[in-house]
Amino acid sequence: MADAATICHSAQQALNQRQYEQARELFLQALDQNPDHPDGHYGLATACFLQGDLLGAAHHFREVTRLDPLRAGAFVNLGAIYNRLGRYEDAITALRRGIQLDPRRAEGFYNLGLVYRQQGQSDRAVDAYREAVRVNPKMTEAHFNLANLLLELEKFSAAIVHYRQALKLRSDWPEARQGLQMAEEAVAEKQAAAQAAVLATLSTVKAPHVSSTAAEQDLPRIDPRVHGNHLGELHQLTKAAEQLSHQIGDNVAKELDNVLKVISAVLIKTDRSPLELAQTLEAFTKMIERFQQAQKKLREARNRFQATHNALKQA
């Protein structure tokens, strides 16, 4: 009689050919030969799942985790099945263990996102989906689910990015195209509303009435031939302030995004390392310090601008 490994090989071939019932019978035969054969339980769990037997699949994946506690895929699959059974806390425990064993397995983060979304924990779901697409940028379903969730949270610009990525990977996806259209329309509406608000504000502001004679008396007469040095300095100060403003915005946005990514990754992990959190806090503190230094430079530029302006009026 064939041993368990040989029978499992035949069962796997039947499984690959979508002959699920035959595969299931063969895996059962293998387990009759060796009840503690982890590959037999893994294959049987897969066959049960493909036949819609979630309880059977959960039982045999649990057996795999008992017999081979370092097999990350078994924990991830078990967590996915627990999620379908509505056992959300068990699902989170299993998925976190799978992620801990194999942090490069995008399916673990993706399924964790599904569980968090079922529980209404949108922020954690977003973090988990982001980790999934970070680990596997070509995971189409993760991009799509992330985009849908961001659309619900009214983070339309971010949703557009992931809808487009999903469509780039799978162009014939009407649901993704519809979601992209909704997100783009929402962005356009927000922009139109913002422009309307600005115009409404401007229309209500009345300029003070100043006679031309009074205006000429209050304003200094500027002659580039006489005041050229002061005007040149004002021009340079303005350009320097503009560059500094751009640097502040770009650097703070980039560094803050990096800090948030680290925090998200730490929150998702099973074991939250105090060292990781401490390093994240240190990075965040340094970012704030750099931001404060940049603010100080802007204030100094403003003071120099005022001093130059005063000198211009007195010239």
Which residue type sits at 306?
A: Q
| 20 vs 196: CA distance, rounded Å | 61
Does residue 74 sit within a domain?
yes
Lowest mean pLDDT among 5-9, 29-33, 57-61, 278-282: 278-282
What's the whole-number mean pLDDT along residues 105-134?
A: 96
Q: What is the mean pLDDT of residues 273-290?
A: 71
Q: Is residue 284 part of a domain?
A: yes
CB 128 within 8 A of CB 104: no
Q: What mean pLDDT do residues 282-296 have?
A: 75
Q: What angle do CA 207, 209, 215 make, to 5 degrees?
A: 110
153 and 114: one domain? no
Provide the pLDDT confidence category of residue 292 given band limits of 50, 70 and 90: confident
The arithmetic mean of pLDDT across residues 25-29, rounded, is 93
Per-residue CA distances from 167 to 28, 88, 180 (Å): 42, 30, 9
Could you tell me if 163 and 180 are in contact, meaning their C-beta atoms sit under 8 angstroms apart? yes
Q: Which of 30-44, 99-113, 152-166, 269-283 has the lowest mean pLDDT?
A: 269-283
| 167 in the same domain as 127 | no
Task: Mark whether 39 and 125 lie in a shared domain.
Answer: yes
Do residues 12 and 32 touch, judged by C-beta distance below 8 A? Answer: no
253 closest CA partner among 295, 289, 287, 297: 287
Longest Cα–Cα distance in the chain: 113
HEC profile of the chain:
CCCHHHHHHHHHHHHHCCCHHHHHHHHHHHHHHCCCCHHHHHHHHHHHHHCCCHHHHHHHHHHHHHHCCCCHHHHHHHHHHHHHCCCHHHHHHHHHHHHHHCCCCHHHHHHHHHHHHHCCCHHHHHHHHHHHHHHCCCCHHHHHHHHHHHHHCCCHHHHHHHHHHHHHHCCCCHHHHHHHHHHHHHHHHHHHHHHHHHHHHHHHCCCCCCCHHHHHHHCCCCCHHHHHHHHHHHHHHHHHHHHHHHHHHHHHHHHHHHHHHHHHHHHHCCCCCHHHHHHHHHHHHHHHHHHHHHHHHHHHHHHHHHHHHHHHHHC
- 204: tokens are 């209500």
In-domain check, residue 108:
yes
Which of 61-70, 153-162, 191-200 shows the lowest mean pLDDT across its residues?
Answer: 191-200
pLDDT tens digit string along 193-221? 777 776 666 566 555 555 555 444 554 55
Q: Cβ–Cβ contacts within 10 Å for residue 75, how many?
A: 27
- What does the pLDDT average to over 273-293? 71
Q: Are 263 and 123 in contact (CB under 8 A)?
A: no
Asked whether residue 27 carries a pLDDT value surpassing 70, the answer given is: yes
Domain annotation covers residue 126? yes
pLDDT > 80? residue 273: no
Q: Is the pLDDT of residue 258 over 60?
A: yes
The verdict on residue 144 lying in a domain is yes
Report the candidate in 248, 284, 249, 288 with the shortest Cα–Cα distance to residue 263.
284
Position 214 in a domain: no
- 256 and 277 inside one domain: yes
Average pLDDT of span 267-281? 63
Domain finish residue from 139, 154, 175: 139
Are the CB atoms for 113 and 142 separated by under 8 Å? yes
Residue 212 in any domain: the answer is no
183: domain range? 140-195
30-44, 106-120, 185-199, 294-308: least confident range: 294-308
| 191 lies in some domain | yes
**Per-residue pLDDT at 270 exceeds 60:** no
Q: What is the pLDDT averaged over residues 238-256?
A: 65
Q: Are residues 133 and 144 in the same domain?
A: no
**What is the predicted pLDDT for the residue at 16?**
93
- Comparing 128 with 196, the larger pLDDT belongs to 128
How large is the average pLDDT for residues 268-286? 66
Provide the number of structural domains found in the chain. Answer: 3
Residues 127 and 149 in one domain: no
pLDDT exceeds cutoff 90 at 179 = yes
Token pair recorded at residue 156: 């339309």
CATH of the domain at 179: 1.25.40.10
Has residue 21 got a pLDDT over 70? yes
Are residues 16 and 132 located together in one domain of the fold? yes
Nearest to 267 by CA among 277, 258, 254, 257: 277
Give phi and psi for 65, each to the nearest 5. Answer: -65, -30
